[in-house]
Amino acid sequence: MRYDAIDPQLFVRNRQKLVDLLPPDSIVIVVANDIMPTNADGTMPFKQNSDLFYLCGVDQEETALVLMPGAKDPKQREILFTKETSEMIAIWDGEKLTKEQARAATGIERIEWFSAFEAMLHQLIPQASNIFLTTNEHMRAVVAVETANDRFIRKCQHRYPLHRYERLAPLVHRLRMIKEPQEIAIMQRACDITEAGFRRLLGFVKPGVGEWEIEAELIHEFVRRGSRGFAYQPIIGSGKNACVLHYNTNTRICQDGDMLLLDVAAEYVGWASDLTRTIPVNGRFTPRQRDVYNAVLRVVRAANEILRPGNTLMNYQKQVVEIMEEELIGLNLIDAKEAKKQGPEKLLVKKYFMHGTSHHLGIDVHDVAPPHEPFVEGMVFTIEPGIYIREENLGVRLENDFIIGKDGNFDMMGNIPIEADEIEELMAR
């Protein structure tokens, strides 16, 4: 099999944690994402609603989960609706989950076909006072297309206008920000697959190679090791492209003397990893490239010391910016006297380091969490500072994934080469 099977007890625990947060007389309803069209009769690859996947692990369309812990009939307290396989579906697309398979994968005893979903809801919703529905409340979300859950909310409110509607997102976000041991193990597997891809590249990159060829090497290594591929759109930027934060066209030929920024990582069983490395295309850092590289690496290590329980993301970012300011002064990019005069916005620093240092990681690459929640043990964060000197066509970013621990953080990518000397040595082989 491509993936190791996930123990359904992970999803059983996730649902129970959610149920424990619900007020009396509540019902939770989460539906699967749509299969999105492209042009003509084409479709995009299916991407499941992350909250639904977190609660049951089912990765197919036309799926709905209903939780109603106070239902009088115990058989109605937890129901999963899945798509039934027809003869045409079996021939053209392949069979969907059987009820037995869905039961084994999710730990949910009652499985119904999706065609029974609306009729069953009409039995259940009148018994409830509070209806919890899911919306995309990620701070960075820009939602231009109506989702299946948006459509369901509108329909549900029209049919049951006098119920009390509640947001599921704050509850699930709070749960998803602290990872279960099984999630950690899956994410470590994604990190290990990412390591294999990066090591493969160190023997491949050289002047004259296309950024797209590097992308091809990575997808080959990721998929052959059981991943479905990239956890996000790969950023493979050489030369001036390394200074474009979300560059992903990957069309340039790498030149001798370039630095190559690689923000590339694998997913595994639906969970993400997130890696960034910056390497010299010709295998040797110039003195200037090495100085900038080592400055960024020092910031990574300093950030790891303050990404600790009790700190908050906002305060942490301010601390990292102070550390980065000293590095930029040392690189003669900003003047020490001018730095002392600048206000709290630190605009001199932001000219060269304009993004956040860390984000939650999980089912989503930029995983959900309450924005002002203090760091606690069991959270997984990236650490990814960068220095981007556009006037020199030189951009360096480094990124590893860390589990916050009680006595210290664990670097899930600690085996992936990061020291400049080691990078040079491996590229020379």
Q: Where are the domains of the chain?
A: 9-176, 181-428
What is the mean pLDDT, run by run of 10 residues, along the chain of 429 residues? 90 98 98 95 95 98 98 96 96 96 98 97 96 92 90 97 97 97 98 98 98 98 97 98 97 98 98 98 98 98 98 97 98 95 90 98 96 95 98 98 97 98 97
E strands, 253-399, are 259-263, 267-268, 271-272, 276-280, 380-383, 386-389, 394-397
pLDDT at position 342 is 86
pLDDT at position 139 is 83
pLDDT at position 68 is 98
**Which residues, at least 6 apart from 391, have a Cβ–Cβ distance to it below 8 Å?**
none
181-428, CATH topology level: Creatine Amidinohydrolase (3.90.230)
Candidate CATH numbers 3.20.20.70, 3.40.350.10, 3.40.50.1110, 3.90.1310.10; the one for domain 9-176: 3.40.350.10
Rounded-to-integer distance, Cα 166 and Cα 180, Å: 26
Q: Encoding tokens for residue 124?
A: 């259940």
pLDDT at position 379 is 98
Rounded-to-integer distance, Cα 354 and Cα 357, Å: 9
For the chain, give the number of residues.
Answer: 429
**DSSP reduced 3-state for 420:** helix
Rounded-to-integer distance, Cα 194 and Cα 200, Å: 10
User: How many contiguous H segments (helices) and E segments (strands) does the chain have?
Assistant: 14, 16
Q: What distance lies between CA 360 and its chain's CA centroid?
A: 8
The CA R_g of the chain, rounded to the nearest whole Å, is 24
Q: Encoding tokens for residue 171?
A: 């509850």
Specify whether the CB–CB gap between 55 and 31 falls below 8 A: no
pLDDT at position 235 is 98
Q: What is the pTM of this model?
A: 0.96
